[in-house]
Amino acid sequence: MAAIKPAFVPELKEHTWEAPLGKIVCVGRNYAEHAAELNNPVPKEPLLFIKPATAAVTMQGNLQLPAGRGGVHYETEIALLIGQPLKQASPEEAMQAVAGVGLALDLTLRDLQSKLKEKGHPWEVAKAWDASCPLSPFIAASQVADWQNLELSLSINGEEKQRGVSHQMLTPIPQLLAYISQHFTLMPGDIVITGTPAGVGQLHSGDHLQLALKDFLTLETQVA
């Protein structure tokens, strides 16, 4: 499976994106209610893990779930496309490096993740498999006037499952990017997905998903 390139929504496109997609930096438990629903402690600082570029696929097609590996859970997240190198940055500097914003699904092999957590092992095989990070197109970051009021939602088969607003994040977007940049460099083409609100659950064959980033994006996809 070939890695995809980040795509901008055509009517909001401000420049042609040439950088290939890089690593996907993920943030766990960035909404308190989501941590609570999985009986996880709220972290004192951001909980980070990484998916490779091969985890990324476009949402503009059916979602392919791995067979025989247990339940696959959806986690809807705001995704940030990095446009400039970012290392040991301040929150203000970090925001200047954001080229675009969109949506991501952090697909998780929940049964496997639970077993790994019980053993104190890393999560990657439950989180970083091929096609585990469907991505929407991105809107240009310059279109966003208020980064504290980005609202995301997910409905499945017509029933709302998740809704959250960026001001509910335990670590807000500017501070989150700055924190990440203290630990490793973010490069053009990297993606940061910023945590999921409460309401996660299992996907099933034939499920119809509608995702929205209020005022910017609405898209639909289906589980194969």
Q: What's the pLDDT at 85?
A: 96
Per-residue pLDDT of 107-152, as tens digits, reads 999 999 899 989 999 889 999 999 999 999 999 999 999 999 999 9
pLDDT in tens, 199-221: 999 999 999 999 999 999 999 99
Q: Is residue 65 part of a domain?
A: yes
Residue 194 resides in a domain: yes
Half-sphere exposure of 45 (CA within 13 A, CB side): 7
For residue 215, the SS3 value is coil
Q: Let me know if residue 102 belongs to a domain.
A: yes
Residue 38 lies in a domain: yes
Provide the pLDDT confidence category of residue 14 given band limits of 50, 70 and 90: very low
Give the span between the Cα atoms of 20 and 53, in whole angstroms.
9
Q: What is the pTM of this model?
A: 0.92
DSSP-derived pairing of the beta strands 98-105 and 139-140: antiparallel
**SS3 at position 198:** coil
pLDDT of residue 60: 85
Give residue 176's domain range.
22-222
Do the domain assignments include residue 10? Answer: no
72 vs 28, 75, 102, 107, 138, CA distance in Å? 17, 10, 22, 6, 25
More reliable by pLDDT, 33 or 80? 80
Handedness of CA 43, 200, 7, 64 (dihedral sign): positive
Residues in the chain: 224
DSSP track, 15-61 = S---SPP--EEEEES-SHHHHHHTT-PPPSS-EEEEE-GGGEEESSS
Type of residue found at 94: A
Q: Is the dihedral of CA 190, 10, 58, 153 positive or negative?
A: positive
Q: What CATH number is given to the structural domain containing 218?
A: 3.90.850.10
Q: Are 208 and 41 in contact (CB under 8 A)?
A: no
Residue 50 lies in a domain: yes
Query: What number is the average pLDDT over the span 61-83?
Result: 95
Q: Residue 126: in which H helix or E strand, if any?
A: helix 124-127
Domain assignment present for residue 75? The answer is yes
Residue 140 lies in a domain: yes
Alpha-carbon distances, residue 189 vs 58, 83, 122, 151, 216 (angstroms): 15, 6, 25, 23, 21
> For the chain, what is the domain count?
1
